[in-house]
Amino acid sequence: MENGQQLSTVTWRKSSYSGTNGGNCVEVANLAALVAVRDSKYPESGRLAVAPEAWSIFLRALKSP
């Protein structure tokens, strides 16, 4: 990750579509040069970090028909 930046101190957020029922959710955190992604049910089990451009491309692909 970003020069040792502590992921425990960043602000993680869920989609507003996730609801409050505790279902399967993906959380994201904006870092200085990366977007971090984790599973909300298992936040300590692993994280993925990608360039903001790659994250934008991924989101556009999800939205396209």
* pTM: predicted TM-score of the whole model, two decimal places: 0.73
Q: Which H or E run includes 9?
A: none
Q: Tens of pLDDT along 13-48?
A: 987 777 666 667 889 998 889 999 988 888 888 888
Q: Which helix (H) or strand (E) holds 30?
A: strand 26-30
Residue 1 has pLDDT above 70, yes or no: no
Boundaries of every domain in the chain:
2-63
